[in-house]
């Protein structure tokens, strides 16, 4: 057997092993150097949104390569909590590539200060700060085409009755909506768990967020339902999603315990996703979680976990 034939067989064998090990993910080279998959996977039923850097081992650190890689794996959305902090040029790059690939950009974090009381107070300086934040958010939305800005109302005030705090939150949100609404931007409020991650916060449950949105009574004030947080806070996930459906604009997900990909904890994501799909949901489900396994193997496992959770019958 001559040397060229031996080289061919060795390379073919290595390629076959790589394909069997990762049928849904490209090889190990930087994304910009990869060839098209022979049989790329189709789109997911729902718009699950990876964050930038979630597939660093396969796609590298380049923003555009990350978007292309996720699109080729069947994802039709991305999310970037830190979008307002990116350079204007990078915001434009993200927006252009997302538009080119017809992908949806999930909520960015506009305000989430867990250390201070803010929304719960009736103070001019608080409103001035919030108005400034909203103006910043509107500019980010104009540059990127983002439709949702995430806000967390901050800590509760131990010296003020909760009902007064609720009234102040409602009033402050109306000021925010006055700026967001004409720009086509929707504020999404995120209730967070206090038992494990964020003790001392004001907004913790879906029923509470629902009541606030109904009281604000503006189309630009909605909820982002993070099923990881709500599994810890209240459980009863599907009934609460159903009850609050008209006020939910976006979802976050992560399994509990561990806050990793679906299938690593106690949440039946296949049923949760099936219900969301049954309502005709066209929005984003942000993959706001870690990976249970490190490295390339973990990235492959993550994609496979979403393929499994997305395999519900319709």
3-state SS class at 224 = strand
E strand spans, 39-185? 47-49, 77-78, 104-105, 108-111, 148-151
Q: In this structure, what token pair is assigned to residue 236? A: 């009863």
Is the Cβ–Cβ distance between 133 and 110 less than 8 Å?
Answer: yes
- State yes or no: is 190 an active-site residue: yes
Query: Phi and psi dihedrals of 155, rounded to 5?
Result: -80, 160
Instruction: Give me the helices (H) in 198-294, please.
Output: 206-216, 227-233, 237-243, 269-278
- Catalytic residue, candidates 190, 247, 261, 299: 190
E strand spans, 139-192? 148-151, 186-189
DSSP code at position 51: B
Q: In this structure, what token pair is assigned to residue 148? A: 């949702």
Strand partners, 286: 49, 252
- State yes or no: is 181 an active-site residue: no
Helices vs strands, H then E, count in the chain: 11, 9
Q: In this structure, what token pair is assigned to residue 256? A: 């509990």
- Catalytic residue, candidates 247, 261, 288, 299: 288
3-state SS class at 210 = helix
Which residue, 150, 167, 133, 176, is CA-closest to 288? 150
Active-site residues: which are they? 190, 288
């Amino acid at each position: 057997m001559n040397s060229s034939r031996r080289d061919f067989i060795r390379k073919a064998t290595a390629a076959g092993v790589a394909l069997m090990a990762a049928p849904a993910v490209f090889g190990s080279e930087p994304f910009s150097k990869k060839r098209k998959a022979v049989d790329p996977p189709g789109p997911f039923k729902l718009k699950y949104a990876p964050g930038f850097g979630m597939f660093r081992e396969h796609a590298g650190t380049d923003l555009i390569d990350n978007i292309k890689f996720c699109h080729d794996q069947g994802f039709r959305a991305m999310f970037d909590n830190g979008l307002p902090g990116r350079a204007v040029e990078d915001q434009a790059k993200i927006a252009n590539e997302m538009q080119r690939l017809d992908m949806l950009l999930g909520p960015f974090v506009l305000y989430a200060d867990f250390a201070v009381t803010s929304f719960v107070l009736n103070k001019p300086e608080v409103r001035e700060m919030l108005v400034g934040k909203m103006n910043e958010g509107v500019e980010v939305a104009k540059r990127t085409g983002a439709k949702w800005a995430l806000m967390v109302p901050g800590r509760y005030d131990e010296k003020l009755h909760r009902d007064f705090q609720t009234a102040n939150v409602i009033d402050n949100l109306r000021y925010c909506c006055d700026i967001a609404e004409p720009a086509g931007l929707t504020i999404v409020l995120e209730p967070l768990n206090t038992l494990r991650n964020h003790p001392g916060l004001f907004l913790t449950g879906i029923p509470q967020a629902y009541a606030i949105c109904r009281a604000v009574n503006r189309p630009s004030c909605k909820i982002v339902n993070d099923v990881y947080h709500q599994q810890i806070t209240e459980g009863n996930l599907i009934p609460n999603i159903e009850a609050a459906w008209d006020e939910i604009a976006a979802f976050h997900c992560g399994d509990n315990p561990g806050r990793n990909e679906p299938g690593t904890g106690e949440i039946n994501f296949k049923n949760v996703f099936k219900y969301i799909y049954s309502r005709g949901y066209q929005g984003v489900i942000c993959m706001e979680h870690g990976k249970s396994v490190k490295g390339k193997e973990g990235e492959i496992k993550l994609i496979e976990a979403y393929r499994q959770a997305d395999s519900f019958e319709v």
